[in-house]
Structure 1
């Protein structure tokens, strides 16, 4: 008889749930729920478990929030909870909560070549660290490295690092951004809302009134080639996506590869290939030569967070906690 554990990947907009076969790690019964439809994470979890009619005693949750002393306060959604209290509320024997990009990092070794699209660079340098980052509702970041043949994941909140203009022609856009937003950080530009922020700042810098206020619409028009303002917006976004990735690569010498996750990059993959992404990635002055050979990959797998949460539950939690 198959024994299942619950795995979940909770972002600022959607909550993804699935069952993980504890024997082989297979993920099944995937469902995506809108976070706004539920007052709490516990409510969303009970709704999912009611739909699968399966007795669950163990769970691993990947969540887009820092985890401090067992307390989770999600920055992009009103959900808040404490791990111990949630464990009791859901009547679980074991509950593990990890950062969402930590989960994606654990999925990295399990991805197939067909799950990746390369954006320049050469071959990965074996034994070197990797960095995984990506825009969605927010901007997630994690690093991986190997110590004594053990795969190590280092979660990070670097998506909140401050950012600014690099060239003079970007100053008009940033002047408007600083008027709109008090603290301009990575996810101010590199996120779904970031696309809107860039669009508004770009149009205002051109002394015109913004028309669109949703990232999906701006992206749609850019991909269709029917609005030059939207094309310029998405290209600016791609440039900063690359620039931020280059900064991350330099921060830990991630010559093993840079991986882009999240829901946005796969949807704009063809635009991304032709954009200023790689130019932004390598635009590091005297350090540019270090970045030219570094390969960058877009993760096209639909649910790497669920895959990684299952891996953590089956492999890491057993080693660390004996569960």
Structure 2
């Protein structure tokens, strides 16, 4: 049995697999609200602790015991024995150790391995885990934004994912397979492309010392874009202001924009998609990812209608003399929300079958 985890700023997914050497469905999958826990160990304790057995007959009252005498005794479940584990972590992983970016957690691989008796455990950056998962996706688990051009010789892939934060990764071809490498590119400086975006940068600089792409390309980022439009154009309807205050701001803005219910929400989505396309194009150029760019994370599938309307690809290819090159790159949206978990499982599976050193 192997354990895989996708640790996120909003939610944490854990799953058990009977992994051999190819993709399989999880034996058990559970989701936890990350902010409700003080550490990953606390979640693992809950996930891995077997359910308590029924109360012994001698502790039951007479009537209940009489009813239970004829029933077959239920033995407590066997403790879970793990051969390996892998977790995708939202932050840089150095020496199997990470301080998460959008959670107040410190995750140490050796400490967790010792506490839960896991012989082999590996931490990955969350986008590195997603990159492994992308390599295992079926064709029906992606939506194509740009078909691009098939390359005669394999080059590289790139991955960008907006969710609670913004993650990026690159997959290079080593002659036999794609090898994911992690990145913290989401924290690079936001580069405005026009006067409107310059004003957006000025607006955000009044609140933050450093304005990264993550400040814009994330759930909180969509809300920040919306607030900029609200404060400069003064066109926020009261009903939407109340829904945003009471609910999840990004979700309420996205719903209103996608359904055409509020002009300010539509404008926020337009700007979000344009900036998302520009940064995806930046990543494609830096990685020279001629084999394709994947959009993963929680936001892209929910905004698929917006991403398909042309605004994203217009910004993606708007690179001057490199417009033709960018137009040749396939761009796809990962619709399988378990891609990171799948990637972590594939790594844990490989660990479980690796020869002992």
Shorter-chain TM-score range: over 0.9
Q: May I ask how many residue pairs the two structures share in their alignment?
A: 319
- Normalised by the length of structure 2, the TM-score is 0.84
User: 1:123, CA displacement in angstroms?
Assistant: 3.1
CA separation in 2, counterparts of 1:306 and 1:106? 9
User: 1:144, CA displacement in angstroms?
Assistant: 0.7
Q: Does 1:31 find its partner at 2:30?
A: yes
Q: Does the CA-based 8 Å contact 2:109-2:123 persist in structure 1? A: yes
- SS of the equivalent of 1:141 reads strand
- Greater mean deviation of Cα atoms: 69-78 or 256-265: 69-78
Superimposed CA distance per residue, residues 25-47 of structure 1 (whole angstroms, 9 cap, x where no aligned partner): 42311111101121211010111
Partner residue in 2 for 1:18: 15
CA-based RMSD of the aligned residues comes to 2.0
Q: Does the CA-based 8 Å contact 1:165-1:171 persist in structure 2? A: yes
Q: Does the CA-based 8 Å contact 2:121-2:348 persist in structure 1? A: no
User: 1:318, CA displacement in angstroms?
Assistant: 4.9
- SS of the equivalent of 1:265 reads helix
Partner residue in 2 for 1:158: 185
CA separation in 1, counterparts of 2:350 and 2:149? 28
Superimposed CA distance per residue, residues 138-197 of structure 1 (whole angstroms, 9 cap, x where no aligned partner): 111111121131331111111111112111232322221221222111101111111011
Partner residue in 1 for 2:134: 108
Partner residue in 2 for 1:276: 311
Q: Does the CA-based 8 Å contact 2:2-2:349 persist in structure 1? A: no
Q: Does the CA-based 8 Å contact 2:156-2:178 persist in structure 1? A: no
CA separation in 1, counterparts of 2:135 and 2:176? 13
Partner residue in 1 for 2:326: 291
Q: Does 1:231 find its partner at 2:266?
A: yes
Counterparts in 2 of 1:187 and 1:69: CA distance versus 1, 3 Å: same
Map 1:3-152 → 2, pairs under 5 A: 4-23=1-20, 24-28=22-26, 29-50=28-49, 55-57=80-82, 58-125=84-151, 126-152=153-179
- Normalised by the length of structure 1, the TM-score is 0.93
Partner residue in 2 for 1:256: 291
CA separation in 2, counterparts of 1:153 and 1:110? 13
- Greater mean deviation of Cα atoms: 153-162 or 178-187: 178-187
Q: Does the CA-based 8 Å contact 1:177-1:184 persist in structure 2? A: yes
Counterparts in 2 of 1:301 and 1:286: CA distance versus 1, 3 Å: same
- SS of the equivalent of 1:16 reads strand
Determine which structure has more spread, i.e. the larger CA radius of gyration: 2
Q: Does the CA-based 8 Å contact 1:238-1:275 persist in structure 2? A: no
Q: Does the CA-based 8 Å contact 1:165-1:174 persist in structure 2? A: yes
Superimposed CA distance per residue, residues 74-98 of structure 1 (whole angstroms, 9 cap, x where no aligned partner): 1101111321112112222121111
